Structure 1
Amino acid sequence: MSTTAFGDFLRFYRSRVPLTQEELADRTGLSTRAISDMERGRTLSPQYRTVQLLIGGLGLRDEEAAEFTALARASRVVAAEERPEVPLATSSSLPPVLIELTGRDTEKELLDGFAADASSSSRLQIAVVHGAPGSGKTALAVDAGHRLGAGFTDGCVFLDLCGTDPEPLTPGQAAHRLLRSFGVDERQIPADPDDKLSLHRSQLRDRTVLLVLDNAANEAQVRPLLASSPGTLILLTSRRTLTGLDARHRLPLELLPPHRSVELLRAVTGPERLDAEPEAAERVAELCGGMPLALLIAGNRLTSRPQWTIRHLADQLEDEERRLSVLRAGDLQVRAAFEISYHQLSPNAATLFRRLALVPSPEAGAALAAALTCDAEEALEELADVSLLGISETPGRYTRHDLLHVFAAERLELDDTPAAVDQARTRLRHWLLDTATRAARFFDHDVPAARTGPVHDKDSAARWLELELENWRSATKEALAADEHDRVLALAQAMHWYSDMHGVGELWREVFQAGADAARHLGNARAAAEQLNYLSWSLYALSGRPHEALAVHEQAAAIPTGTITEAWTCYYGSAIRRRIGEPQTAVSLGHRSVALFEQAGYRIGENLALSLLGLMLHTTGALAEAAEVQQRSVDQHRKADGDDELLSMMLIRLATTLAAAGQVIAALDLFDEAESLFRRHSNTAGTARVQHQRGLVLVDAGRFGEAREQLLAALSEVRLSDQRVEVLDRLAALADAAGDAAEAREFRVRALAECDRYDTPAVRVTAARLVAALS
């Protein structure tokens, strides 16, 4: 039978309907080119699925459908007889697997799925695997070729496109090599590059193959090599994301997590050696940053040096200035892998890449990058496209690998003058400090904020301060060392109200100590006292160190200041005295604070001082008086249409006092209002404070199930120093009441561990009780 018989009948049945080739393509999902090739006899062996799609599209039934299927089958047989054997050389074209692919189970499953999709689809199936230099793209592709190649009728063909070489393969050169892999005689390969590509595409359309095109340079290199063939999968690997290709599947190859990194190190080095030094092995894996190439090199260095301990290698890697030099084994070099991509960057992208070494955080956004170079967004996208930066889960931000950070620092020293580096560092530091100061002022009740740059309202300010915390915190230290006292003091002053609901004790001890030092250098006594007040707050409220707080408070109290600053000093002193077990002194200072704020006409301070005074009175047992002054603070604040979050804090204190006085229902209503206000502003720390206090009230009311739910919800976000101990202690008591001794013991152990962090009389009493209960 002629091999054109199937094509003749296809044309006949299509004309009978009648349908154009384009209309039949729309009906079947096949390409117009594929239909044309079958009708002209260029496709000699249509796949079974293709034939079934055609039968449906042509409306063939019964005998005609059976005859059409038989014609297709006969055509495949004749085509096989007429076409010479094609030595696809699946095994020889694929590089060997030298070490078992480790830590990529998820990626292997995805590739299995891509192959399954190809077998059941009529459209061109392209899968792009992209990732940073050294992330193991080729290893994954080679593993896929060996595992999945046998599932394709015509096997697997592998071609290295040499995309990172100084002169990558041209499309014509790549087509020539692929044609030889397809078994085309060298004498039949055209000299003209376009003719080569045309012949390559026709050969590919006649086959069902796994075509692995490794190390692609860019879209222009691979686009001419793509052709549609039902059942074929084209697997591309590249450092570039190749976003210009219409790829059916994309697989960004992430770095290995810690436990997978150790697994790869074990596969290279051997289990006995790693099991002898597990902690050192984990450290080596961590310093390699989850990069497969680095882990492979580290493992090879260990196996080639059996006299070394793993600890010795870890100690070598600890030194950032030597790390990339250590990660070298023969012709395998992490630095060399990075240099290839770096030297292909545009000048502006290369400049940004180097200067990002000045950024402490592994993440950066366009606004920060703009402080380092012009056209920052374009440069960031270029760096992401070549996988020298990753894409953060936070939209608009980019991530950087640890080893790439080390490499960027090397290039910064090599390629920039010291003067240029200093200028860039100073520009970045000033931008971070100025932006952080503006952002913090959105939380300030006294100073208006400027709506410029990346912060334009309270939500964007909170988001920026959290995302850039590591960077502006580091910039504060640098500025203090550089004697930029004005900037440091401005930032510390702006952070006062923001710190009320955000951040941890260590951060604010650092910031407010820096603020106090800056104020002293500037000779600003009032500002120094203010900063010492805030520092004392961070010590007693967030760090559980009330005796240190008292010493700092006394320094502040010794400085002559204006009325408002003196009122704040009394305010913080009152809270400290309560913490160290001097409630009457706390009440006295509380009254003094209220009077001074009232004298100065500063209503925000007066209302907060009234609320705190109520807490001091509550401690002494004067519940009626406590409720009275706290209600006054709430009423005055409402009348002045004051800040929601400050109101919420006042409501919590009032609710706690009312509950202690037996007014549980009224207290719970106030807790609900406070929580709704905190949630309106996405204030998780404030919400946790409500849940904590509500939980305690519910315990006392005997509503144990609800109490446990509230305390557990508060546990992850509770912020004040000794409150975590109190939450865990109450949860242990609730577990006892529920008859769960194991859970009660767990909570007590955790509470006792927390007690070591705080030095207050109340915590010491709790610790002694916990020890007794655990004995």
Structure 2
Amino acid sequence: MPDSILTRTVAPTGIAFRVLGPLQVEGPTGPIRIPPGRQETILACLLMEAGRVVGTDRLLDLIWSEEPPDTARTQIQICVSRIRKSLAEAQVAASVVSRAPGYLLRTEDDAVDLHVFNRQVMASRVLVKEGRVAEAAETLRAAVALWRGPCLAGIPSEALRTRGLRLDEDRLTAIETYLELELGLGRSHELVGEISRLLHEYPLRERLRGQLMLALHRSGRQAEALDVYRAGRQLLADELGLEPGEELRQLENAILAGDPGLYAPGGAPHRPEPVRVRPAVVGPAPATPYGEEKPHQLPADTADFVAREPLLRRVEAALLGGDGQRALGLVVIGGKPGIGKSALATHVAHRLGGERFPDGQLYCDLRGAGAEPVSATDVLGRFLRALGIPGPVIPDGTDERAEMYRTLLASRRMLVVLDDAASERQINPLLPGSSSCAVLVTSRSRLTALPGAQRVELDVLDQEQALELLGRVVGDERVGREPEAAAALVRTVGGLPLALRIVAARLAARPHWTLASMVHRLANERHRLDELAHGEMTMRASLSLTHDGLNRADRRLLRLFSLAEGPTVPGWIAGALLDDHRPFPSDLVEPLVDVQMLDAVAVERTGEFRYRFHEVIRLFAREQLTLHDSPAVQLAATERMVGGWLAIAEKAHARVYGGDYTVLRGTGPRWQPPESYVDRLLVDPVEWLDGEQANLCLAVEQAAQAGLDELCWDLTTTLVTLFESRGYFDLWERTHRRALEATRANDNRRGTAAVLSSLGTMHISRQQPEEARQALGAAREIFDELGDVHGLALCRRDLALLDRQIGEDDRALVLYEHAARDFEKVGDVVGRATVLTQSAYIWMRRGHSAVAHAQLEEALSVFRTVGYAHGEAHALRRAGQVLLQRGEHAQAEQTLTGVLEMVRRSRDIIGEGHLLRNLGEVHAATGRYEQARDAFERALAVREQIMDHGGAAVVRLDLARLLVRFGAGAEAGALLEQAGATFAARGMRHELREAERLLGELATRRPSAP
């Protein structure tokens, strides 16, 4: 096979471009001066994206933060021309070429220090896998030595500085990794000084703190190790109001207990849940233990929690039981709103934590008090994903999900916290079947029909507890100055913890107020509300008093914030609701947090907080919204909020696909959160989509309810980026059905077609060809009427795939040809490349490997140019299959091994199974029995780990073919019988016929060993 984009490598050369610090360019005769400002910014951006096209619009945004001048594009051209001239005159082996829609910098990979760094990090992972740990550590140290200061220091571009910060984070991760490796080599004593200096520079890095603790402990300095932990704990509390992470807490416990495991044989470090280098395996290797994740989903503990120790011990004893406990530990905490059920459950769960439930803690807010409680089916889906099961493998039905869930938990010690449950029906499918686990439930309902449950009914705080809570919020000294007023205040709120926290927060924000004045104010408010029942009156009085004491802007935000219905909400929502574009929108929310009307419950990767309403306060705020804000005001705020979700979601999609490709766009208004905030948020765009899936799906529902059909369908189809990659088929269908109702109700023809087309893709993923054909046919008809070329391209692409799957290759090729032409017309290069990849499979199947190879070459060029990693991996896998078909086994093995490395890095377990199977086929074709068997067995292990029974049966069939070929008939027969039973149960007729054929063939032979 000729040298091509599939196979070529780049010979190393000297580094000419340095971005890991201030921008520097080096030619054969010495440094080259690039004028600061625009030229420096453009060159820096091109180097960061070397080998990929950078759009002119992107360069405009980097240089002009506000409206660019009319001559902006001309100025960009001039700058690029001058950069070209500087590089040419200095004889630098690089060029800047024009490539629609912008420019591309071509140079050798080793000419850019960033590429060298990435390559050395990758090489270190391979060395770790090969057991060459010392060399891996040295390689990482060399990679880190490339840094000359903060990445891109001095470049006048906020967006590039943000990118530089992400790369600086990669540098820190590399440092922590080589320290971890060297600790494993027994170099603890030598590393203490280096780690201490690093921790002084980065005091909030918990991994560094843990490494210093371990190095000190192994050096015989246990007291200092514990001091390092205590200093870190105090720093986290002072700076962020957080406790150290689970790993650090477990390490402290291990040091206190003198755990001998901290001195592993040979000096290898042994810590609870160590952070390890994930090796980039370059050949078939043991599958990553997916399905064995240890989730830690508990929300933060309440800092001012107050409860009697006997109550805590009672709940813990009920959960843990005795040593001979044979039944599931199940506790239901009940009580009225605001009594502290969730706070108690969270506190107990943290107390037991990793020590008693070392395999993890699952948590879900079931939203039982809301209009639409979370279904057991959805919760099971979330839990199964948290336990490592990929979305496409998760079954649709509740019973099947519950069976898989119980199987995964059968041998584990896990705590499940189900907060705010609505009914026994919601909870029953979520109960593990093993006595090694325990379940903690909170509910306003009594839930008397849960067998074996022990109930704890919470009452209001007694006076001593209430005064303790009050002192924690306003200060013991202040309570001590007015003991009678403090006692009266406790009586006035009836000992209700939420009400007490609210009025105490108001006092804390007004240090000049006396406690007696608050008692008087609250008594007057209660008198005004004396028509209410006592419990409701207590809460309403507390809320009204605090609400009325807020300034006008804060009251308005409180009302509008109730429109955000998610379990936790990011701070930018406040900016959208108020149409306030300040760079730090969380500043708007903090006054509400200060008075306990909102809780700050988590910190995002951006450093911004996330917020949550207590449901009682949300209802109060919603009442105020109805009283004070017109429907038009509410609709405008909702439109901005949904527009904000769409703005970020479409940026996430563009980062995944390398641009706004393979998706249709509507005309609904976007609301743009701060750009620097979004850049930090979308470091991993799919992770962001996944983390916000509840809010995003609720935004679809709110848009539909508000009649915002254009925003509704646009957001819905954009979320397919998440649904498809994670296999969230139930969310895919639910959101699309809701959007379809909205578009049809508003006679939105294009939106209806877009949703139907996307539903067709979902049905294909679910292996529902008839439903797919029906949805795609209806969408195609509307797009044809509208003359929507892009929509037609999407439909034809999927209809071609359906034809290909049933062997109608000629019809599929015609559709693919039309789709490719349409994608080209609208500039959707990724859509066209996807079509080329899919049609290449048909040409390969027909034996036209040269045609297939040419199409894959073109597709790969596009995928690599735009940075669409999934497309690149898919095309490379097809290329490996083409090479196998052509008998170029060495090239096939090299290509498929590279793709295996890619899918493992991205944690694509399903892709890993496919690639291991393909490698087994390569080894079998070359007669390498042991390697083929090993690859098939690893592929089988992957499928079994994720409980993909159908996929496992297919691999058993492959393995049986191999064994038959090499004479191991008895073993093959057992595999075929097992696979056949699965095929029959799942209606996999073609595979069943093949298994039966092989069994019949074996019946005529005498089984023998290879």
Q: Normalising by structure 1, report the TM-score.
A: 0.50
Q: Which has the higher contact order (CA 8 A, sep 6+)?
A: 2
Q: Normalising by structure 2, report the TM-score.
A: 0.40
Which protein shows a greater Rg? 1
